Amino acid sequence: MARKKYQEIAEHLELLVLSGRLKPGDRLPAERQIMEDFDAGRSSVREALFVLQRQGLLTSRPGAVPRVSVPTAEGIFAELSGPVRHYINRPEGLREMQDARALLEIGLARQAAIVATDADIAALEKALDANRNAKDLEQFFQTDVAFHFQIAKISRNSIFAGLNTAFADWLKNQRVQSADTGTSFEDVVRYHSNIFEAIKNHDPEGAANAMDLHLQDVVKRYWQAVLK
Amino acid sequence: MARKKYQEIAEHLELLVLSGRLKPGDRLPAERQIMEDFDAGRSSVREALFVLQRQGLLTSRPGAVPRVSVPTAEGIFAELSGPVRHYINRPEGLREMQDARALLEIGLARQAAIVATDADIAALEKALDANRNAKDLEQFFQTDVAFHFQIAKISRNSIFAGLNTAFADWLKNQRVQSADTGTSFEDVVRYHSNIFEAIKNHDPEGAANAMDLHLQDVVKRYWQAVLK
DNA sequence: ATTTTAAACTTGTCAGACCAAAAGAAGCGA
DNA sequence: TCGCTTCTTTTGGTCTGACAAGTTTAAAAT
C-alpha cells in the first residue's frame, strides 16, 4: 500500500472543494457517510478530515458536521508557527529569518513609496503618530507592529499583510530582547519617521534605504542584548 | 473539554524536542507506549503524532518507530502547497501570488548582485548556458527553474531557496499556460542573460530591474494565454 | 405561532483486533 | 568469529464497535 488511505480521501475531498462542487459554508457529509462512500474505516476518514482541518479548509466542532471554510493568508501562516519556532532554534535559523523579514519589509517599503495614495499616507501618518505617542512599552510594541502593518497594507496584497503579521509574531521574542538594552523609543520613532517621509515623497529608494537601516539597527541591538 | 487531547500530547512531545531532550535521529516511544504515558486512546496519540509529522518534526514509516527529524525549509513550504492551491483559486489569489513571487525574486536578484562571489557567478553562468541549450520543453522548464534557484542560492539563506522552489511549484501551471502562447525560448533566455550580466557586474539596480521586466513579461504572457 | 422538550444525529475519544512492514533475535554455515 | 538467512517480536496502518458529550431537528406543549 504505497499511497496511504487518508491521503486518497483527503485529496478527493480537496478536489470537491477546489472544483467548486462544495462551496465555503457548505456542509460536508458526516464521517460515517464518507466511510461508506470511500469504503474506509473511520480512522482513515478522521485522519483525512484532520489534515484538511489543519489546512484551514474546513472547520469542525464536536457534534456538528464539518463545514467548508476559506483559508485565509493569516491562517496559513499561523499554521507555520510551530515549524518556524523550531527553525529559529537552529544555529543559523534566526539570522536567516531576520534576513527574510528584511527582504520582505524593504520590498514592501519600496513598493509602498510607488503606489501609496493620499489616503494610504494619511493612515500611515496616523500610525506613526500613535507610535510616537505610545506611553508604555506594551503600547509601543503594539503601535510599532501596527506601523509596519500599515506599510504592508499599502501593497493591497493579503499575502504580504499576512506575512507581515506572521513575522512580527515569530520575531516577537527578538523585539522584547532588543528592548531590554534600554533602546530609547525616540531612536525607533526617528527611523519610522524617515521611512514615512520617503513613502510620502514617493521616493522608493529612500524608503527602501530607510527601512534597511531601521531593521539593521533592530538586528544589531538584538544581538548586542543576546551576547551581553 | 476546551483543549483537545491531541494538542496536549503534541505540545508535550514538541517540548521534548525543543528542549533538546530528544535530538534529531532519536527514536520516539511507540504509539502504544505514549498511550500509557498520557493515559490517552490511540486515536488521540495518532493525531498528535500526525500534527508533528506534518510539521516535519518527525518521520514515521509503517513498522518502524517514529524518529525525530530536522524540519527543512522545503518541507515546511511543501506543507503549504494544499492551502496555497486553494488560495490561488480565489479571484485575486493568483495575482497576489505572482506579486509575492516578484517581490521575492527581485529582492533576491538585487542582493545577489551585491554579495555574489566569483564562484557564484560561474555557477550561475553554467545554469544560464544549460537553459540556453535546452533541447525540449521539459528540459527548458527544468533549467529555467534551476537558473532562478541558482540566484536564490547566492543569498545563502535556506528560507529563500525553499521559498523559491515552492513558488516554482505553486506557479508551475502558470508556466505551462504561458508556454502555450508559443513563447520562444530566446525571449526568456534573453531576459535571463540580462539578469546574469547585471549580477556579474555587481549592479543591484540593474539586476532588480532585469528581473522585474522578466517576471512582468511572464505574467503578461500568462494572462494573454488565459484570456484568449 | 412561539417556545419547550425530547429524540435523532454527529463528533471526540476509547478499546480491541488484524495485517503488513520493519526491526531484532536466533540459528546456520563458513 | 563473522556473515548470512530465517523466524519471532514489535510497530504503524486500518477496521470495527462502543460510549459520552455536544448539536440539530422535529415533535410537543403552550
Q: Average model confidence (pLDDT) for chain B? A: 85
Query: Band of the pLDDT at B183, cuts 50, 70, 90?
Result: low
CB count within 10 Å of CB B99 equals: 19
Q: What is the mean pLDDT of residues A21-36?
A: 84
Residues belonging to chain B with any Cβ–Cβ distance to chain A shorter than 8 Å: 14, 17-18, 43, 46-47, 50-51, 54-57, 70-71, 73, 75-76, 79-80, 82-87, 89-90, 92, 96-97, 99-100, 103-104, 106-108, 111, 155, 157-160, 163
**If you measure CA to CA, which chain B residue comes closest to A44?**
B43
- Percentage of chain A surpassing pLDDT 70? 94
Where do the domains of chain B lie? 5-71, 77-227
Q: What's the confidence (pLDDT) of residue B27?
A: 84
Contact (CB, 8 A) for B50 and A48: no
Query: Which cell numbers hold the place of A201?
Result: 515623497
pLDDT at A1 over 60: no
Asked whether the domain spanning B77-227 has the same topology as the one spanning B5-71, the reply is no
Least reliable range by pLDDT among A20-24, A32-36, A138-142: A20-24
Closest CA to A55 of A80, A27, A91, A38: A80
Three-class DSSP labels, chain B: CCCCHHHHHHHHHHHHHHCCCCCCCCECCCHHHHHHHHCCCHHHHHHHHHHHHHCCCEECCCCCCCEECCCCHHHHHHHCHHHHHHHHHCCCHHHHHHHHHHHHHHHHHHHHHHHCCHHHHHHHHHHHHHHHCCCCHHHHHHHHHHHHHHHHHHCCCHHHHHHHHHHHHHCHHHHHHHHCCCCCHHHHHHHHHHHHHHHHCCCHHHHHHHHHHHHHHHHHHHHHHHHC
- CA A63 to C1' D22 (Å) is 5
What torsion do the CA atoms of B100, B160, A98, A158 make, to the nearest 10 degrees?
A: 20
Instruction: For residue A108, list chain B residues with Cβ-Cβ distance below 8 A.
Output: 103
Q: What's the confidence (pLDDT) of residue A213?
A: 93
The pLDDT tens digits of the residues spanning A120-153 come to 999 999 999 898 888 877 888 889 899 999 999 9
Strand segments (E) across chain A: 58-59, 67-68
Query: Band of the pLDDT at A70, cuts 50, 70, 90?
Result: confident
Could you give the 3-state DSSP secondary structure of residue A67? strand
Residues belonging to chain A with any Cβ–Cβ distance to chain B shorter than 8 Å: 14, 17-18, 43, 46-47, 50-51, 54-57, 70-71, 73, 75-76, 79-80, 82-87, 89-90, 92, 96-97, 99-100, 103-104, 106-108, 111, 155, 157-160, 163
pLDDT at B130 over 60: yes
CA distance B13 to B67: 12
Q: What is the mean pLDDT of residues A3-21?
A: 83
> Which amino acid makes up residue A107?
G
The pLDDT tens digits of the residues spanning A165-192 come to 888 888 887 776 666 666 677 788 889 9
Q: What's the confidence (pLDDT) of residue A38?
A: 87
Query: Band of the pLDDT at B150, cuts 50, 70, 90?
Result: very high
Q: What's the confidence (pLDDT) of residue A183?
A: 64
- Architecture of domain B5-71 in this structure: Orthogonal Bundle (1.10)
Three-class DSSP labels, B35-89: HHHHCCCHHHHHHHHHHHHHCCCEECCCCCCCEECCCCHHHHHHHCHHHHHHHHH
A contact test, residue of B159, B212, B219 with most A CBs within 10 A: B159
Contact (CB, 8 A) for B85 and A18: yes
**Domain boundaries B77-227, CATH class:** mainly alpha
Contact (CB, 8 A) for B38 and B9: yes
Query: Band of the pLDDT at B181, cuts 50, 70, 90?
Result: low
CA distance B51 to B44: 11
Contact (CB, 8 A) for B95 and A103: no
Q: What's the confidence (pLDDT) of residue B75?
A: 76
CA distance A106 to B3: 39
Contact (CB, 8 A) for B199 and B110: no
Q: What's the confidence (pLDDT) of residue B114?
A: 93
